[in-house]
Chain A
Amino acid sequence: MPSQPEQHLLTVSGLRIAFRQGDAGVTAVQDASFAIKPGEMLALVGESGSGKSITALSLLGLLPPNAVVEAGQAHFQGRDVLALPASERRAIAGRRIAMIFQEPMTALNPVLTVGWQIGEVLKQHHRLPRAGRQRRVVDLLTQVGIPDPEQRASDYPHQLSGGMRQRVMIAMALAGQPELLIADEPTTALDVTVQAQIMDLLQTLRRQYGTAILLITHNLALVNEQADRVAVMYAGSIVETAGCDDLFRRPAHPYTRLLLRSIPSVDQRGQRLAAITGSVPKPEEEIPGCRFAPRCPLATPQCQTAAPLFRDLAPNHGVACHLADTPLPEAQADAAVSKDDAPPPTPVLQVTGLQVWFPRQSGLFRRTTGYVKAVDGIDFTLWPGETLALVGESGCGKTTAGKALVGLAPINAGSIVVHGKTDLNGLHPRALRPFRQTIQMIFQDPFSSLDPRLTIGETIAEGMEIHQPGLTSNERQTRMTDLIAKVGLPADALRRYPHQFSGGQRQRIGLARSLAVNPAVVICDECTSALDVSVQAQILNLLKDLQHELGLAYLFITHDLGVVSFLAERIAVMYLGRIVEHGQTAEVMTSPRHPYTKALLAAAPTLDSADGRPKLRLPGDVPSPINPPTGCHFHPRCACAQEVCRTTPPPSVSFSPTHSCTCHFPVD
């Protein structure tokens, strides 16, 4: 190998990638330049569609067939990998540069054991003889922290949890002892506690083997805690690169500055988030000059005509903006959001002992052999105009609980009392119908929650036709026009179809559909988690405004603790179908009493400086609700667990009139 004069492992410069679509070409990556030093972790951050994945795939020669690299170089150890012939590139891709993907489920072959699949990589890429291979597979599995590696090697992918699968993917990537590991959203499909484990693993590997890591993500908080340097990508171009500290303390590009302000956290409580107007442009949109200009509050006529050149502000801090140092207009503090302290007399929703059990049927005659206790006895109360956050990791039953409230999941036991009067459980479906408008739900996926064949007007009118049959079509039309304006959409939206709207706009439409029937409670099921950060901020602001205006109560189901601390008055933490801790947001966030809450808070990355927080890591994964552990469900992962936890379900302990948790040994 020739000696390396430059200190960088990989230098990408002027990369431009276009897709051929029919006769037209669409430039997905406009201009990407960045460099990685050996052993460094560079984070490539950007919102969806900004071209992060395409950039990474081009380095490995994995671009889809209709994509072409139109310009640019990528020097890896002195050679331009983009210009290499396919045979030589294969010698680099997968060995010197390895990649792990977002979705470990689809990246592994379901009908082959993981040991075989790792062995195959060793055989193909590294020509290892059979005898050595077996040992190396076990070594690799040990390296990535999989317990019982000998046994696990003969498991099939579906027998492993999501976190374990991602570890297997990492093991495969490590097989060739790569110098550079590209991790494309490696933890996006995982729970926070598992995400923390995987990130720890990547950091350990980096320290031990000096592997450089290109971390592709949209999660700025994660970047803040993990990366050495950051490259921010917007609409196909890198707009800012800087050391991690520099970027988060002294962001220069208006996009970066606004993005950081639009991330919800405790500090923004009682304020509006600095949402960036509009949404990320699609690659086919022609924007002369700066691609951020249509959304930039600082944009000048110059910005609209001349694309800014990338320039160094300081050593190691580059930015592509004409006006990088100009201060931004201040975020408006929102006094209106403060509330009266005295809670209104009757709660809108009072849930006691709610159970949702799904029967597990087996055999020829579909006999019920057991139950999946998705929700196993939860209680909470919701007052008008307040937000209760239901927090927990995937599979803990949050969504099922929400669905049960709107009648989409069968209720096994418990009562749902609305307005202190009517218990919905047990009502005949016909008697229940008038109450349906009281509780409404907004769904997570903005793309599947609207019927593609109905216009927005038809979608919104549907509920009104059922619940306000007396309205004339004129009155209905007026009301719909009001609603659509209220959620911030143009008036002509009513006649258009869902596919003409972006994800954020669709969530607004879903909100308008719910509001059309005058609900008292709106259940938001991860309703911002499919959105880009800048759009999420718009929706969160809108939710707050509407709550203030209409006195809505929200049950906000989420796993994002930043959103919770920004929006919610109270938090209920769920684990395996039960609420383990319940209290005012401030109480739970600052002095968590349940060991699980504590671990959850520790695992979630934040934008605050990472130091000073306890490094508490939960081992293992969320167990399946089919066979929950006995006693306290949390005991196999709990650091404080004792004998009694294994046998006896813990009692509920109160710490204040509002704060309680179920644990034998609450932490102080």
Chain B
Amino acid sequence: MPATLFQSWWFQNLFTLSLLAGAALLAWRLSRREYWRNAFHEICRNRLAVISFVILCGYGAIAVLDSIGWRRPLRHPETGEIARHPETGKVILDQGASALDYLLAPISAKREKTYSAPLATTDYTPTTAMSPTGQPQRVHAPLAYPRSHLLGTDRIGQDVFCQACKSIRTGIIIGLLTTILAVPFALIFGTAAGYYGGWIDDATQYVCTVLSSIPTVLFIAAFMIIFGQGLPQLALAMGIASWTGLCRLLRGETIRLRETDFVLAAKAMGVPSWRIILRHIVPNVLHLILITTVIRFSSEVLAEAAFTYLGIGVGADTMSWGAMINDARTELTREPIIWWKLAAAFTFMVGLVLPANLFGDAVRDALDPRLR
């Protein structure tokens, strides 16, 4: 299966680790600046924000565990012997799985036949079976693994808790990747438009206006039809659809900064424009970017669920909360009602979005000088 470069495990591992390293580097750089250190202390004083941050870290850890993985030698199902290539004698590897998969394996291996309620001992729907007296009877058949499915199982007997955990990565990747893709565009065009004005500004404004006047749903649908469904495609589409707002914000702030005395002083000193943008403008809008990113993260997570539910999100082979909700749509109409899949998706999503919002608010309060 890992046919292309992007899907190979070593690429994924490398990408994840470099992302982590990048985040750590940024955090380290910022921690040396007094302004950010003060903001950090401010956030630490807010108990709700600290709790939110711990929860977010938990989610993040799961997403990271689900993003690094490796392949293992294929073993004979019975003898447990390592399979080798008949001619070359090389060890044959399986398709591989993420660290999270290996961790969840004890649970996900416990397959049932079909639906079972959370922590149930028997099937949810009765099946017809022969009674000891030989009469056909409707009974709730006992489960293969009673009391072991925290959030029940789905139609084909898979553990719902495992699915919800596997969906975390999708949600977080969408939230992060969208921003990572949107920020450079917004930063480059926003600051250039604001600083230089003139035709650069006109052109940027024009593009922004056009992009933001296309309905997002239509745009994403068209994008997915052209480029196929998948996690990277969705992130890219959502990134393109959402950088205009940040771009306008940055443009406005740059126009204000352009007239401040310290920028004028640099200009009078003969500092070239690109250098003024890099040294004076960008550091002074960084807090805006961080605030927008953190606040927008949760709405991107929700948007992913909505797009997947509408059938224009990540494809069917990627687990996500949107896909779970989509499944739950039919289950909710059954009698008796099957509620746990929706409940699981909902709980996991709120568990991420609510702390993200609370933390976002705390970050904004700590960084926005007007609220200080």
Binding site for B on A (CB under 8 A): 403, 406-408, 432-434, 436-437, 439-441, 443-445, 448-454, 459, 462-463, 466-467, 497, 510, 513, 517
Find the B residue at minimum CB distance from A449. Answer: B261
User: Known: A452-B284, A453-B284. Is A433-B265 also a contact (CB below 8 A)?
Assistant: no
Query: Which residue of B262, B266, B271 is within 8 Å of A448 (Cβ)?
Result: B262
With a CB–CB cut-off of 8 A, which chain B residues contact A453?
33, 35, 280, 283-284
The A/B interface has a contact count, at CB < 8 Å, of: 70
Q: How far is the CA of A320 from the CA of B3 in the complex (A)?
A: 87
- 23 CB contacts below 8 A, A to B, read A403-B264, A408-B267, A408-B268, A436-B269, A436-B270, A441-B264, A441-B268, A443-B261, A448-B260, A448-B262, A449-B262, A451-B262, A451-B266, A453-B33, A453-B35, A453-B283, A463-B269, A463-B271, A466-B269, A466-B271, A497-B35, A510-B265, A513-B269
Q: How far is the CA of A452 from the CA of B286 in the complex (A)?
A: 13
Query: In the complex, A402→B234 CA distance in Å?
Result: 53
Q: Which residues of chain B are within 8 angstroms of A439 by Cβ–Cβ distance?
A: 268
Residues of A within 8 A of B272 (CB): 466
Q: Distance in Å from the Cβ of A157 to the closest Cβ of chain B? A: 24
Q: Please give me the residue from chain A that is nearest to B269 by CB atom.
A: A463
Q: B113 — which chain A residues lie within 8 A by C-beta?
A: none
How far does the alpha carbon of A411 sit from the alpha carbon of B143 in the complex, in Å? 87
CB closest residue in chain A, given B280: A451
**A408 x B264 contact (CB < 8 A):** yes
Question: What's the Cα separation between A311 and B265 when bound, in Å?
Answer: 50
In whole angstroms, how far apart are the Cα atoms of A440 and B270 in the complex?
A: 10
**A443 near B264: Cβ-Cβ < 8 Å:** yes
- Report B164-183 CB contacts with A as 1/0, cut-off 8 Å: 00000000000000000000
Query: Which one of B262, B268, B283 lies within 8 Å of A406 (CB-CB)?
Result: B268
Bound CA span A440–B271, Å? 13
Q: Which of B261, B266, B271, B283 has the most CB of A within 10 A?
A: B261
Most buried by A among B34, B262, B269, B279: B269
Dominant secondary structure of chain B at its interface with chain A: helix
The residues in B between 247 and 275 inclusive whose CB is less than 8 angstroms from any CB of A are 260-272
Q: How far is the CB of B2 from chain A (nearest CB, A)?
A: 44
Nearest opposing residue in chain A for B34, CB measure: A497
Chain A residue at smallest Cβ distance from B36:
A453
Residues of A within 8 A of B279 (CB): 451, 454, 462
Residue numbers in A under 8 Å from B35 (CB-CB): 452-453, 497
Residues on A with beta carbons closer than 8 Å to the beta carbon of B261: 443-445, 448-449
The docked-state distance in angstroms from the alpha carbon of A117 to that of B2 is 76
Beyond A462-B271, A467-B270, 4 extra complex contacts between A and B, CB < 8 Å: A433-B270, A443-B264, A466-B269, A513-B265
Residues of B within 8 A of A445 (CB): 261
Q: Which 8 A-B pairs have the closest CB atoms?
A: A436-B270, A449-B261, A406-B268, A443-B261, A453-B283, A451-B262, A463-B269, A433-B270
Q: Once the chains bind, are B270 and A466 in contact (CB under 8 Å)?
A: yes
Q: Could you tell me the distance between the alpha carbons of A238 and B189 in the complex, rounded to whole angstroms? A: 55
Contact call B33/A437, Cβ cutoff below 8 A? no
* Chain A residues in 8 Å Cβ range of B33: 453
Complex Cα distance, B262 from A459, in Å, reads 9
A residues less than 8 Å from B280 (CB atoms): 451, 453-454
Residues of A within 8 A of B34 (CB): 497
Q: Which residue of A lies closest to B271 (CB)?
A: A466
List the B residue with the shortest CB-CB distance to A439: B268
The CA-CA distance from A85 to B26 in the complex, in Å, is: 56
> Chain A residue with minimal CB distance to B38?
A499
| Cβ-closest chain B residue relative to A441 | B268
User: Closest Cβ of chain A: how far from B361's Cβ, in Å?
Assistant: 19
> Quick one: which of B20-50 are within 8 Å of A by CB?
33-35
Task: List chain B residues, Cβ under 8 A from A408.
Answer: 264, 267-268
CA distance A437 to B270 in the complex (A): 8
B318 CB to nearest chain A CB (Å): 41
> What is the CA–CA distance of A510 and B262 in the complex, to the nearest angstrom?
9
Q: Are A451 and B268 in contact (CB under 8 A)?
A: no
State in angstroms the CA–CA spacing of A459 and B280 once bound together: 10
Enumerate B56-109 residues with CB–CB distance to A below 8 Å. Answer: none
Task: Give the Cβ gap from B43 to chain A, nearest Cβ, in Å.
Answer: 16
* Chain A neighbourhood of B263, CB < 8 A: 451
Tell me the chain B residues, 264-302 only, with Cβ under 8 Å from chain A. Answer: 264-272, 279-280, 283-284
Closest to B270 in A: A436
Contact in complex: B284, A462 (CB < 8 Å): no
